[in-house]
């Protein structure tokens, strides 16, 4: 790509427009040119003739770079042809990545610059993609060669029908999965590192509002990366139409989110008269991709599941996904005073339980015996210990109130029901001795 200082200078994109030929300023062209020549000569005489006009001075061949600028550009062009990214977006992301590499290469070695950028985006300990990958438990399926069914084997194992029980503990453990991940990242070539970062930037560059759904972007990237590494993609010689990614992957998601808030009236988009507790938003979309059960629930228009499609073909099936019947509300943001109980239950526990401890211990006259005698030491300590029951009772009330904000499907109901069962056992254990200590 030819370097144009007007595109990379500090005033790129917002400088004054040049007058058309034949205008009144053309008479100054000769004097301006001669003045520029004089300035150029003065600059060369003062600073020497070897002033670098390289746009990325720290990323040059004499600095031992793993990939040249031309090779990086070829990677972007190849990805653009295979996924249908827009050319202008590709140029923007190419320049952005080159600036990242140039900036880091000015402070460290070129290889380290590329490695750290890949670690920040994809493979590092704190990379969001890595966190999502393990949260969605894709490591379990990748370990046994079943990438086309994320979480499905775990679901079967929970139901008692799977063969995952026979797998070794080491294979299932998070530590062994993390070790396999680190080993794969360490053995990855510089070409693959840069290709993955470039693919992520290209997917992100055209995502629009979908950028606000980080885990959804991770899933899109995973599908795109699986498709690129497949023989079907590598053996393809024809370039896909420009804009394919935008129209088949991003636009359906964008329209779904837009239609949650706006509707068309008389040819204009008008905001719906709908409360936010009934609007499926970014958090609800993200929640779909956080768990293997959510990924396994993605349905296409023919009622088949996306995870049943081989990884090589999953990216090309995005246009057929029925997002309207896949994405559901995961939390109802109701305007109610009960929010104070659900979200601040720990605050209530701290204050009320401490109040109970101090009051019960320092005011024994409140619970005198029926014959007017002061309570025994056992009674006094037992009543004071009821602060644990107070804390448990607050948690029970908060759990019951939580049913208001969550959709009552089996997953949520079973989780809250198990919590209630456990809390009632704790309440019986903490309150039972006090009841039995009084005659």
pLDDT per residue as tens, the chain (439 positions): 444 444 444 444 444 333 444 444 343 344 434 433 443 443 444 444 455 578 888 998 888 899 999 999 999 999 999 999 999 999 999 999 999 999 999 999 999 999 999 999 999 889 999 999 988 887 665 543 444 444 444 444 444 444 444 455 545 577 788 888 888 898 999 999 999 999 999 999 999 999 999 999 999 999 999 999 988 888 888 888 999 999 999 999 999 999 999 888 888 889 888 888 888 989 989 988 988 888 888 999 998 999 888 878 889 999 999 999 898 888 888 888 999 999 999 999 999 999 999 988 888 877 776 666 777 777 888 888 888 999 999 999 999 999 888 887 767 778 889 999 999 999 999 888 887 776 6
Decide if 156 contacts 164 (C-beta within 8 A). yes
| Distance from C-alpha of 324 to C-alpha of 168, rounded to nearest angstrom | 40
Write the DSSP string, 284-348: HHHHHTTSHHHHHT-BBTTS-BGGGS-HHHHGGGGGGB-GGGT---------STTHHHHHSHHHH
SS3 424: helix
Length of the chain as a residue count: 439
CA dihedral 108, 109, 113, 114 (to 10 degrees): 180
């Amino acid at each position: 790509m030819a370097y144009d200082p007007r595109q990379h200078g500090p005033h790129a994109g917002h400088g004054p427009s040049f007058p058309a030929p034949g205008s009144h300023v053309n008479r100054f062209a000769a004097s301006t040119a001669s003045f520029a020549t004089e300035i150029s000569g003065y600059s060369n005489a003062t600073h020497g003739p070897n002033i670098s006009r390289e746009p990325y001075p720290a990323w040059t061949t004499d600095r031992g770079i793993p990939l040249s600028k031309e090779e990086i550009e070829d990677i972007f062009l190849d990805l653009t042809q295979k996924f249908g990214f827009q050319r202008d977006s590709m140029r923007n992301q190419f320049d952005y990545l080159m600036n990242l590499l140039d900036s880091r290469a000015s402070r460290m070695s070129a290889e380290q610059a590329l490695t750290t950028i890949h670690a920040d985006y994809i493979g590092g300990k704190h990379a969001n993609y890595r966190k999502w990958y393990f949260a969605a438990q894709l490591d379990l399926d990748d370990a046994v060669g079943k990438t086309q069914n994320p979480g499905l084997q775990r679901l079967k194992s929970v139901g008692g029908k799977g063969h995952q029980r026979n797998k070794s503990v080491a294979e299932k453990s998070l530590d062994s999965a993390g070790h396999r991940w680190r080993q794969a990242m360490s053995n990855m070539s510089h070409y693959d590192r840069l290709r993955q970062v470039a693919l992520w930037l290209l997917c992100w560059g055209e995502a629009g509002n979908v950028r606000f759904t980080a885990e959804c972007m991770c899933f899109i990237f995973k599908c795109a990366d699986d498709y690129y590494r497949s023989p079907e993609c590598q053996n393809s010689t024809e370039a896909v139409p420009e804009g394919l990614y935008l129209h088949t992957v991003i636009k359906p998601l964008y329209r779904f989110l837009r239609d949650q808030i706006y509707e068309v009236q008389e040819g204009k988009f008008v905001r719906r008269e709908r409360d936010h507790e009934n609007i499926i938003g970014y958090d609800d979309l993200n929640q779909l991709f956080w768990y293997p059960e959510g990924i396994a629930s993605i349905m296409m228009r023919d009622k088949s599941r996306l995870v049943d499609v081989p990884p090589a073909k999953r990216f090309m099936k995005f246009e057929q996904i029925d997002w309207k019947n896949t994405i559901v509300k995961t939390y109802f943001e109701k305007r109610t005073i009960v929010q104070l109980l659900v979200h601040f239950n720990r605050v209530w526990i701290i204050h009320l339980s401490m109040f109970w401890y101090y009051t019960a211990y320092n005011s024994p006259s409140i619970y005198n015996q029926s014959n007017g005698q002061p309570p025994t030491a056992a009674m006094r300590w037992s009543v004071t210990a009821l602060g644990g029951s107070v804390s448990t009772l607050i948690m029970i009330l908060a759990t019951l109130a939580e049913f208001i904000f969550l959709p009552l499907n089996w997953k949520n109901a079973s989780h809250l029901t198990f919590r209630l069962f456990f809390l009632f056992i704790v309440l019986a254990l903490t309150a039972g001795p006090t009841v039995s200590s009084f005659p």
